[in-house]
Amino acid sequence: MADFNKILNAGDYKNGIINVVVEIPTGSTHKIEWNRDLAVMQLDRVEPKAFAKPTNYGFIPQTLDEDGDELDVLLITNDPLTTGIFLEARILGVMKFVDDGEVDDKIIAVPADDRDNGNVYKSLADLPEQLIRQIEFHFNHYKDLKKAGTTKVEKFGDIEEAKEVIAESIERWNNK
Handedness of CA 125, 127, 128, 129 (dihedral sign): negative
**pLDDT score recorded for residue 3:** 54
Check the annotation: does 31 bind a ligand.
yes
Check the annotation: does 72 bind a ligand.
yes
**pLDDT score recorded for residue 1:** 46
- Residues of the chain where predicted confidence (pLDDT) is lower than 70: 1-6, 147
Check the annotation: does 155 bind a ligand.
no
Check the annotation: does 67 bind a ligand.
yes
**pLDDT score recorded for residue 176:** 83
- Phi, psi at residue 161, to the nearest 5°? -65, -40
CATH architecture observed for domain 4-174: Alpha-Beta Complex (3.90)
pTM equals 0.94
Domain ranges within the chain, ordered by starting residue = 4-174
Per residue in 107-135, is it b (16+ CB within 10 Å) or e — as a string? bbbbbbebeeeeeebeebeebeeeebeeb
Question: Are the C-beta atoms of 8 and 19 separated by less than 8 Å?
Answer: yes
Check the annotation: does 45 bind a ligand.
yes
As a whole-number percent, the residues of the chain with pLDDT over 70 amount to 96
Handedness of CA 153, 42, 61, 90 (dihedral sign): negative
Check the annotation: does 57 bind a ligand.
yes
